[in-house]
Amino acid sequence: MAAGEPGDLGGYYFRFLPQKTFQCLSTPETTSRLRQWSMLGRVAAQAFGFDQTFQAYRKDEFVMAFFKDPNVIPNLQLLSDSSGQWTTLGTEVKKIEAINVPCTQLSMSFFNRLYDEDIVRDNGHIVKCLDSFCDPFPISDELRKMLLVEDSEKYEVFSQPDREEFLFCLFKHLCLGGALCQYEDVLHPYLETTKLLYKDLVRMALVCATLRRRVTNRHFLISLWIRSSVMFMFYTTLMVWGKCLNRFFQIIYFDIVLFTNFNFNANL
């Protein structure tokens, strides 16, 4: 199959969109925070477009077609777990798994319960706790205990469905950080960075939801997250390597954008 031709699986043709930029990852404030959290250089975003209507029941075919596409294999960047260096996919993926993941939360009030349950004080400071360890993370505050320790009294502040939300997964990933993370004493930087990422990654899908007068909230996790919309093709993916999301964070963005000058006005 020649480069640039549609893939055999599902008839999908993918194209690499190197010109697509993600402002949420390039602002000075975000860059500074990622450096503090030991995530700078380990967070990346790429964009790919495709040409066929996406059908949710064919998600496995879609994902497999993506990894087999000749325009994807030499361009998809991955972070090597052994060397820590960025490299290209370089070969076809032989097996994938797609899991439905919800994305229903449109407001940062989703996290207000952190204040209500004394995980964060009214002034924004994160409540400290006795030091413990949840491999590979040190735990010295109630926020990380709530995120990691399943038998803690705070763990059920967020139900299992809550924890599967894309918004929560972004938040958790930022709070845990990388191997040499310098943790925050206050909640605001985590919330603000989560909001910036979320708005930049999902707002186009919400345009579709507005025009159709209904919300289309579907994610698929393969080793990636994929956001989909029926009305036009918009997909956001999140690839996670390493235990508890702390090693690697990569977003791949599939896009055929038909709308411009959109002001995101959800309660974020």
In this prediction, residue 10 carries a pLDDT of 53
Start-to-end CA span in the chain (Å): 44
The yes-or-no verdict on residue 34 having pLDDT over 90 is: yes
Would you say 198 and 111 are in contact if contact means Cβ atoms under 8 Å apart? no
Tally of CB atoms within 10 A around 240: 18
In a domain, 43, yes or no: yes
Q: Does residue 260 belong to any structural domain of this protein? A: no
The answer to whether residue 5 sits within a structural domain is no
Domain count, the chain: 1
Helix pair 188-212, 28-36: axis angle to 10 deg: 130
pLDDT > 90: percent of the chain = 39
User: Does 173 have pLDDT greater than 50?
Assistant: yes
- pLDDT of 228 reads 33
More confident residue, 5 or 174: 174
Write out pLDDT tens, residues 150-161.
999 999 999 999
The residue type of 22 is F
Whether pLDDT at 47 is above 90: no
Rounded to the nearest integer, the mean pLDDT of the chain is: 75
Summarised one tens digit per residue, pLDDT across range 51-91 is: 887 777 888 888 888 889 999 999 988 887 777 788 888 88
Distance CA 231, CA 228 (A): 9
User: Minimum mean pLDDT among 4-18, 95-109, 249-263: which range?
Assistant: 249-263
> DSSP 3-state assignment of 56?
helix
**Domain-embedded: residue 264:** no
Asked if residue 127 is part of any domain, the answer here is yes
Work out the average pLDDT over 30-58. 87
| Confidence at residue 98, expressed as pLDDT on a 0 to 100 scale | 72
pLDDT of residue 237: 34
150 lies in which domain range? 14-255
pLDDT score recorded for residue 94 = 84
Q: Is the pLDDT of residue 219 over 70?
A: no
Residue 8 lies in a domain: no
Residue 238 lies in a domain: yes
Question: Does a structural domain hold residue 3?
Answer: no
H or E, element range at 176: helix 166-176
Q: Long-range contacts of range 142-149, CB-CB < 8 Å, 24 or more positions apart?
A: 142/118, 143/114, 143/119, 143/175, 143/187, 144/175, 144/176, 144/183, 146/114, 146/119, 147/172, 147/175, 147/176, 148/176, 148/244
* Amino acid in position 107: S
Q: Which of the four pLDDT bands, split at 50, 70 and 90, describes residue 203?
A: low
State the pLDDT at residue 7: 44
d(CA 108, CA 146) in angstroms, rounded, equals: 18
